[in-house]
Amino acid sequence: MIPLEWTVEYSTGIPKIDSQHAYLFELANRLARALASGRSDEVLANIVQELNEYVNTHFAYEESVMQQAHYDSFVQHQAMHKKMREQLAEYVVQLQNKTLSAQALSKFLEVWLTEHILHEDMAYIPAVAASGYQP
């Protein structure tokens, strides 16, 4: 996997969300490096656990921002988050069963962190701006 780089292109203009997204990029890269270097299952499990916990923290904050801004597509966005949590949980199970595909996980993280941010997350920014809500 080519390292993911958080750039201004991914900026929502909401500092806390941007820093959370940047940290998710960092965690994805840390995981990719660990997978590529054949690190121990314990190291991989620790990174995946941290990623899983941080995803929950990030989604909770992001969803609170969308709710406060009365984002019209909140329910749909929340459903996407639920689906991503479920997929990540499946990867955790695969890691425990030693059936984890590094390629599949890397692709999932790449698509999620780039396409989801650029398309889905950027869609709620006008609602936040129009609401006057200051996260």
Which one-letter amino acid corresponds to residue 37? S
84 CB-side CA count, 13 A: 25
11's CB contacts (< 8 A; 6+ apart) are 18
d(CA 27, CA 104): 16
* Structural contact between residues 66 and 124, judged by C-beta atoms closer than 8 angstroms: yes
Residue-level length of the chain: 135
Answer whether 0.85 is exceeded by the pTM. yes
116's CB contacts (< 8 A; 6+ apart) are 80, 84
Which one-letter amino acid corresponds to residue 132? G
Superfamily of domain 15-131: Hemerythrin-like (1.20.120.50)
pLDDT by residue for the chain (135 residues), tens only, comes to 568 899 999 999 999 999 999 999 999 999 888 888 877 778 888 888 899 899 999 999 999 999 999 999 999 999 999 999 999 888 888 877 888 776 787 788 888 889 999 999 999 999 999 998 888
